[in-house]
Amino acid sequence: MTVLASPRPASWSPSSIEEEPTPKRRRRTGWAHFVLVPVALLFAIPFVQMFLTSLTPESEINRFPPRFFPSELTLDGYVKLFRDTNVLLWTGNTVLVSLVAVVSHLALCSLAGYGFARLKFPGRSAGFLMILATIMIPTQLLMVPTYVMFARVGIIDTLAAAMVPWLASVFGIFLMRQFFLSLPAELEEAALLDGCSRWTTFWRIILPLARPALATLAIFTLLSSWNDLVWPLIAINDPSAFTLQLGITNFQGARRTDWSLLMASNVVATLPLILFFVFAQKQFIATMTFTGVKG
């Protein structure tokens, strides 16, 4: 039973980036700073501008010559944002959509991944191949028929239209299947011999071991569903069912010059993911690497 000591087998390791770089002979690496400092600064500037502008008094924004740092900081942009707009409602909508997406993804994709990896049933290979083949279908091909389909079902202009496309995904099924394939079969055989049903074995024995894969999947789903613009844009026209991304995109037309409010809305839409990224960077990088490795 020593196998259990390493719940994450070496064959399933999407990223080793956080680990020590390959040991190399000592050599001068100073040049890297000359590349990285300017690039990192350039990459940080949009964030700095976003936070600063959201705190700048409106009178200073359109001034010429413009200045990088405001003379005083104010929360006016945020006050206007929360007082005059539906941003709280939209944030709630997005939280709801992402929550449903993540929970549904974790449940359905791990079930399906386990089934395709471990269970024997007629049609297993054909079903999995068909799912894999759909990777080639671009989203753009699906926009019109999905819109018509949603309209027939009657979920246009409701949050359900933003949720349904994120209930499960090929990526999720594939990721979970790869993980379960890498687990030693003895684990479940022991449990089955002890009289556990397939379901109990999955729920009590297998799923607790799948935490690293589930974390990867949760991050992927959160990022995609939180930032999604295309589906809500197509399926939702009713402002009370807007998601956050759709709402702030709409501001651009409606409040073209109200920059402190626009940037405040940007901060509201972006800050949760930024914080999440900073604290769970390792898992994020694993997710990004796996997204690429699947190809």
Closest CB 286 distance from another protein, rounded Å: 9
Q: Which amino acid is at 129?
A: L
Report the site for another protein in 68-107 (rule: CB under 8 A): 68
Report the alpha-carbon distance of residue 51 to residue 75 in Å, rounded: 11
Does 49 engage in binding with another protein (CB under 8 A)?
yes
Report the site for another protein in 26-45 (rule: CB under 8 A): 27, 29, 32-33, 35-37, 39-41, 43-45
Cβ contacts of residue 149 below 8 Å, gap of 6+?
Answer: none
**HEC profile of 123-150:** CHHHHHHHHHHHHHCCHHHHHHHHHHHH
Label residue 239 exposed, middle or buried (CB < 10 Å: 0-12, 13-18, 19+). middle
Closest CB 240 distance from another protein, rounded Å: 18
Closest CB 226 distance from another protein, rounded Å: 7
Q: For residue 72, what is the DSSP state? A: S
- Quick one: 20 or 72, whose CB is closer to another protein? 20
- Quick one: 52 or 96, whose CB is closer to another protein? 52
Cβ contacts of residue 152 below 8 Å, gap of 6+?
Answer: none
Report the alpha-carbon distance of residue 248 to residue 156 in Å, rounded: 20
Handedness of CA 245, 249, 254, 257 (dihedral sign): positive
- Taking residue 267's Cβ as centre, other Cβ atoms within 10 Å add up to 19
Report the site for another protein in 125-144 (rule: CB under 8 A): 127, 130-131, 134, 136-144
Among 59, 64, 125, 129, binds another protein (CB under 8 A): 64
Does 279 engage in binding with another protein (CB under 8 A)?
no
Among 119, 184, 185, 238, binds another protein (CB under 8 A): 119
- Quick one: 88 or 124, whose CB is closer to another protein? 124
Residue 215 in tokens: 């974390």
- Taking residue 118's Cβ as centre, other Cβ atoms within 10 Å add up to 17
- Quick one: 65 or 83, whose CB is closer to another protein? 65
Q: Which among 225, 269, 231 has a CA at the least distance from the CA of 247? A: 269
Does 269 engage in binding with another protein (CB under 8 A)?
yes
Report the site for another protein in 179-238 (rule: CB under 8 A): 187, 190-196, 198, 202, 204-205, 208-209, 223, 226-227, 229-230, 233-234
Closest CB 194 distance from another protein, rounded Å: 6
Closest CB 29 distance from another protein, rounded Å: 5
Q: What x-and-dash track marks residues 143-172 binding another protein by CB under 8 A?
A: xxxxxxx-x------------xx-xxxx-x
- Alpha helices by DSSP H, listed for 164-280, are 170-182, 186-193, 198-200, 207-209, 211-227, 230-235, 244-254, 259-279
Among 56, 221, 245, 283, binds another protein (CB under 8 A): 245
* Number of residues near another protein (by CB under 8 A): 128
